[in-house]
Structure 1
Amino acid sequence: MKRLQISQQEIVLAVFVALFIACSVLLTGFLTSDNMLTLMQNVAVLGILGLAMSIVVIGRGIDISLIAALAVPPGIALQMVLDGQPLALAIVVAFLVAMVIGLFNGWLIAFAEIPSIFATLASGLLLAGFGQTFIFDLDVVPWSDGMAGFEKLGQGTFVGIPMPVIMFSLAAISVAILLRTTRWGAFIYALGDNPDTARATGVKTRPMIVMQYVLAALIGCFAGLVLASSVHSMPTRIFNSTLIYDVILVVVLGGIGLSGGRGGVVNVILGTLLIGTMLNGMTIMNMPYSVQNLVKGIVLLAAVIADSFINPRNEETSQQGDI
């Protein structure tokens, strides 16, 4: 008789459904149109960031500078428009800045061989500090008349679906196509599964690492533009928040192994729904910020421990994975 096996995706889906039902029944105001709109907008931005992080984690890395890529390039775009520059130029500059961030991260990790967690932590601090010191006049860069029309990226609906959710869906489809149907996607999985084997089979691992971080920064910039158009400003101090931990929670809890080479877009979607619902529920309950951080820390620790059991270490290949 075959042993009944339940995947991590099924567990996360079941927990999300149970949590959503519990919040709907027990929390006044949870299942209202206004709160659902807020939930979907927050989930969308968190999900786009999760997609960016997933590309890096599947390739056996991590990007702590992702929130800086979310805040600074879009903040530069809003600042440029506020100062009288054309909107199109400002958007191009924002993505160019994000690309430079990704290239810098990739070079530090692939060629200088600095561990990704330290390289991206340093670059994120550098970028955020540079922006707050030399570029932004205010901590919250305001919306200006020159941005007219761009708010449609994060506001309004399309066939009844909020635009941020549409943006998340488009980003998810794009990342899924990259990971599952292209050679680059196959190389990312190969690199995450076993870098030495990937290199031996002809994969140019260093350029692939650089590409991962460039893509992550560009997607992070896109998430920032969606966020800015949703709230009509860019709060640059968001870099100092715990948002990066929420993104890591989405990826790990969704089922993308920290050891690399496993997971995909479906895992990000499930993790986003679960974490988004949990955060929204805690907010409605008026939980103090410190208590919310405590809960998130416990959940993240449990997810990391679960990941180590689900993907036990394979001593023959010096990596974690199914054995």
Structure 2
Amino acid sequence: MHRANSSNLAPRYFILNGIPGLEAAHVWISLPFCFMYSIAIVGNCGLIYLIIHVEALHRPMYYFLALLSMTDISACTSFVPNMLCIFWFHLTYINFNACLVQMFFIHMLTVMESGVLMLMALDRYVAICYPLRYSTILTNTVIVKVGLATFIRSVLFMIPFMFLIKRLPFCRGNLIHHTYCDHMAVAKLSCGNIKINAIYGLTVVVLLGGADIFCISMSYIMIIRAVVNLASADARHKAFSTCTSHICAIVITYVPAFFNFFTHRFGAQTIPHNVHIIIANLYLLLPPTLNPIVYGVKTKQIREGVIKLFSREKHILSAK
């Protein structure tokens, strides 16, 4: 066990040992994570490029999708390259302050993703329940304001985590059994009282996650009521089909997140620690990987946008 320099001060660095018990298989484990990360980067960058360059996608729904893609790119980039360095090159040392920065961005971007999904639910609510006022309610100014508010909310709720870690004395070594600097994984190395850390972490999950899920649920309750009242079955199908991609994104994001949350707190004695770590990585990497695929497959306008973009590029190349 690597010890900190002082029992009263924070260590200069931590050691991330990846997935304990599976060190011999780190290279093989890294391959699917590397593949997923590549898909996430290419898919989300492609979506952003498409939304910027195809005029038909210059609508609030796709602006929020671009914001989701930017959040996804940032979220997986905040930990996957460092994880691959651990698996491939055994670069396990991370500076104390760098660890805090990584912890801040991972948790902040997780909260940001939840907030963006909530905004996308409100977008679908306005589009289906108030279609004639859609463009006047969700103007570009409103989109920028709510996007900025979601970002500020995420930052403000994550800043206390930094100070809660900074105040702790570390005397149980500096070896973190994880692939990234998770808040509670770092806090558990302290010999001080981490009750406040645990309570604040749970409070953030309940308040922010609960508020977002409540808004999403209420939006879809109102959407279902509006869709049911439509005259024809074709109109009902068409209206609700615009929500299927978003519903898939919600499932992809929240199911792994809550599974990780509950197994971490209530399944610690029954689920092996290395399985916990694999789940903790998947719940961060799975949404960025699958979201662009889901929206590409299930959204007609995006498929048409891809065809138009490639047709235009082909025409330009043939003209040359």
TM-score by length of 1: 0.34
TM-score by length of 2: 0.34
Larger Rg: 2
